[in-house]
Structures are given as structure tokens and as C-alpha cells.
Amino acid sequence: MRAVASSVLEEVSVTKIRIKFRKYGVMKFIGHLDMMRYFQKAMRRAEIDIRYSEGFSPHQIMSFAAPLGVGITSDGEYLDIEAETSRSSQASVDALNQVMVEGVEVVSYQKLPEHAKTAMSIVAAADYKLFYKDGYDAPASCKAFEDGLRQFFVEPRTVMITKQTKKSEKTIDLKQLVYDWHIQQDGGKPVFYMKLSAGSVDNVKPELVLGALYQSMGLTYDANAIQVHRCEVYTKTEQRFLALSETGEPIM
């Protein structure tokens, strides 16, 4: 890990920053565009020296890694900004957390290499955890789901399902897009863990994947019963998936 020379970067060169945050509680009802607006205002409240575009209505240089659907919570959300100058990572995390509402917590604030691509353009995968909300029971036992998963996903060589988009239908192979899928038990109910292809090319939604399993088992998928939680978002190197937070380094 390279050391960063000074605590305050006074140089004119722009610093690329990657911010990781958690989204939980009632904030899951705030949509992606409103989260962007929320962070734009939070940057100003925290006095982050963010860079603005030129022109009559300058906007902050800010982009989000992967939109999170309404209703989904997350431990691994990312946004990239460009800053003119920056305090240390710790001071910046503290300043941001001072101006966060309950339900959003900034976890890290890291400097990216000068020529780093935006998170948005390098997202390759995401981890999800899907579990039954309080007051809802699983429609089958853990054992039944484990058997179902083996028959539907683990054993076949291809798992073709239909993905409905706004304009058309598309057939996709889950074997190519689901990198990991396993079930654990919590309080007698199954909890589904999956690592899915994400990003602009082959994005796959966890509800679609679980819904396909339900269908194969002859069950009716009830979206109200399931809480979807995103655990982490990854980029891909030649060797492995790398959490987006592993691509930066702290400002000391």
C-alpha cells in the first residue's frame, strides 16, 4: 500500500474518492435518484471540497456504482466523487456521518489511483442475502429448499429462464450469471445467499433468481415476504472478484 504524503492534499490535481456506505431501516424506501440528491446535499453539509462541473448550473462530480431498488437494504453501496482537496479518510468519514440521517452510514472514504475508472463502469458482481421478514413464514422447509436448489441450480449444466424487460423477453442462463448460491438456516427459516452478475452488461436481480427457484418447486413467489439485502459490490480482476472498497487506499 502506498503512503499518502500529507493529511490535507493542497495540490491542484483532482483527487478521485470512493465512498462506501450502508443503507438500512426506513431509508430503504428512498429511491436511487433521491439518494443521489441526498448525497449532493450531504456533501455540502459536510463541507467536502467536491469538484463542480462548469457552466450556469454546475453539478457535483459524483456517480453511484449500482442503483439499489426501492425496498432493498445494503451494507455495500458505493459512490465516487472528485474532490479539489480532501481531509483524511477518517476526518471525512466523521464529517459525513455527522450529517447523515438514521439509516445511512458512511463506512469508508478512500482515494483512488489517478486514472481509476468510475465504480459504475467496473461493477461486475454483487452479493445478496434474501431472508423472510418478521411475520412471514417460508412456504417450504429449509430441507425442501436445499433439495430444490440442488435439482434446479446445482446439478443441471444450464438453467435457462425468461427475463422480462420493459420492451421484450430474454432467455438467460443462470449458470452463467449466478456465481454462488447457497442456503443457510436462521431461526428455522432459510436464508438465501447469492453472488450475482451485476453492472451494465449482465445485470441480474436477486428476486428473479429466487423467483425462478420458487417456480421450479411449484411455489408462488411473494415479494412482500422477502427482504433483499445487498452485502457487497465487486469489480473483477483477472484472478478474482475484488470488493470496490479494495480498489482504493486511505488518506492518512
Kindly state the smallest distance separating residue 208's Cβ from another protein, in Å.
17
Please name the amino acid found at residue 1.
M
Shorter beta-carbon distance to another protein: residue 224 or 239? 224
Binding status of residue 10 toward another protein by CB under 8 A: no
Shorter beta-carbon distance to another protein: residue 58 or 113? 58
Instruction: Please state, in angstroms and rounded to a whole number, the distance separating the CA atoms of residues 69 and 195.
Output: 17
- Residues with Cβ within 8 Å of 153's Cβ and at least 6 positions away in sequence, in order, are 159, 174, 175, 178, 181, 213
Binding status of residue 67 toward another protein by CB under 8 A: no
Binding status of residue 29 toward another protein by CB under 8 A: yes
Strand 123-132 and strand 226-236: the pairing is: antiparallel
Binding status of residue 70 toward another protein by CB under 8 A: yes
C-beta of residue 85 within 8 angstroms of C-beta of residue 9: yes
Kindly state the smallest distance separating residue 42's Cβ from another protein, in Å.
6
Q: Quick one: which segment of 15-23, 29-37, 108-116, 233-241 binds another protein (CB under 8 A)?
A: 29-37
Select from 1, 10, 12, 133 the one that contacts another protein (CB under 8 A). Answer: 133
Binding status of residue 43 toward another protein by CB under 8 A: yes
Strand partners, 180: 195
Binding status of residue 27 toward another protein by CB under 8 A: yes
Kindly state the smallest distance separating residue 228's Cβ from another protein, in Å.
11
Instruction: Please state, in angstroms and rounded to a whole number, the distance separating the CA atoms of residues 182 and 169.
Output: 27
Select from 32, 41, 150, 170 the one that contacts another protein (CB under 8 A). Answer: 41
- In sequence order, what DSSP letters do the residues of 87-129 get, joined into one string? --HHHHHHHHHHTPPTTEEEEEEEEPPTTPPPHHHHEEEEEEE
| Interacting residue ranges for another protein, rule: CB under 8 A | 25-27, 29-31, 34, 37-38, 40-45, 47, 50, 52, 56-60, 70-71, 99, 101-103, 133, 223-224
